[in-house]
Amino acid sequence: MISILKYGEVSNNEIFARAVPTVNVEDTVAEIIKSVRERGDAALFEYCEKFDKAKLSSLLVSEEEIEEAYVTVEPRFIDILTRAAANIRKFHEKQVRNSFIINDCDGIVIGQKIIPVDRAGLYVPGGTAAYPSTVLMDSIPAKIAGCREVVMVTPPNKEGKVNPVILAAAKIAGIDKIFKVGGAQAIAALAYGTESVPKVDKIVGPGNAFVAEAKKQVFGVVSIDMIAGPSEILVVADGKSNPRHIAADLLSQAEHDRMASAVLVTDSASLAEKVSEELEKQIPELERADIARESIDKNGKIIVADTLDAAIEIANEIAPEHLELCVDNPFDYLDKIRHAGSIFMGRNCPEALGDYFAGPNHTLPTSGTAKFSSPLSVDDFVKKTQYTYYTKEALARVAEDVAFFANKEGLGAHAKSAIVRMEDDE
């Protein structure tokens, strides 16, 4: 059963405690990365047979396989994927940055160019669940950014096939190449390249502990989006909220995995009790009841605060991945929320809207990192290059100042490089 805690009556350590993964996979992942770097495709084929039980003749998903998969997906789901993709594009197109130029001083031009990374790599999990939503969320911003190529890796099943809905989503998103490889070995292949899998500049996408550790180890060779922790939801709700709705929203994240955390912060002790009771009713009805049960019992909590403002401050300290604001006038409180991956406003905005359909990205900072990081966006797939141009006359106006500054730092060659051009005219 979920814990109910009264803020101010229990320690802050208990209020703000988070689940900490205890699995150490660092050495195993390092060995896998080393093998892929040294042996390329041969290592990938072996790991695929070992971990996925699939004996492949090719890592690349063919156009024929994509088309065959697409036609097997029910038309209604194709329509939903297409409309979801349109919503995602509409939102992320607003994120596009423009280059700029400043030339308001005589003889001086300075500016900044926005340049997409050449090649983006997308990891899509396999295993017990398929996530076509991840395909759309992580590839569409890369396409909008202008990446020349978007490459997807995802593990196959025992028959060497990729889930059809994953391939359908990839076709709708316009992904350029898809490879049948998962786990840490897929991350290594994207980071270093193999005979089949091209080396990328940026790796994005969620995965298990092995994938997360692999992304951590290859960071610096390539860029990554984030090291994702367990899924999180925090609901701020007042006493007028429907406990059935709140419980359902908490369970929408608790069913992800046993380490997921679901938290309610409320100013109503009565709502706290009702939500606790409702959770006990709803958990047995879930297909993933055993996962949700462990998540709620170990990592779930209900925090009762004196006021709604206090509840929001607690939420800011936790800085959750998903924050639902279940009140009548949510926009009155929006400016008070400083730290959250994505905010869901009002009583009719379940977090699931953001996972699948609304348009804002669902790849979000976890584990409190929303205090300093952001959702996946078009910005993740671009870099900035700055440039400077001075005429001879413009340099002459500031050369002595540049040299003086350089000498203050004890860097005489820097100073000389500015002054020497003036000396040539003497």
Q: Choosing from 65, 255, 278, 321, which is the catalytic residue?
A: 321
Question: Is-contact 376 363, C-beta < 8 A?
Answer: yes
HSE, side-chain direction, 13 A CA sphere, residue 369: 16
Contact 340, 263 (CB under 8 A): no
Give the strand pairing for 108-116 and 100-105.
antiparallel
CB 333, CB 325: distance < 8 Å: yes
Backbone CA torsion sign across 388, 391, 397, 403: positive
322, 324, 351, 362: the active-site residue: 322
Give the bridge partners for 324, in sequence order. Answer: 235, 344
The verdict on whether 317 is a catalytic residue reads no
3-state secondary structure the chain: CCEEEEECCECHHHHCCCCCCCCCCHHHHHHHHHHHHHHCHHHHHHHHHHHCCCCCCCCECCHHHHHHHHHHCCHHHHHHHHHHHHHHHHHHHCCCCCCEEEEEECCEEEEEEEEECCEEEEECCCCCCCCHHHHHHHHHHHHHHCCCEEEEEECCCCCCCCCHHHHHHHHHHCCCEEEECCHHHHHHHHHHCCCCCCCCCEEECCCCHHHHHHHHHHECCEEECCCCCCCEEEEEECCCCCHHHHHHHHHHHHCCCCCCEEEEEECCHHHHHHHHHHHHHHHHHCCCHHHHHHHHHHHCEEEECCCHHHHHHHHHHHCCCEEEEECCCHHHCHHHCCCCCEEEECCCCCHHHHHHCCCCCCCCCCCCHHHCCCCCCHHHHEEEEEEEEECHHHHHHHHHHHHHHHHHCCCHHHHHHHHHHHHCCC
Longest dimension (CA), the chain: 89
Is residue 322 part of the annotated active site? The answer reads: yes
Residue closest to 120 by CA, chosen among 297, 343, 376: 376
Active site residues: 321-322
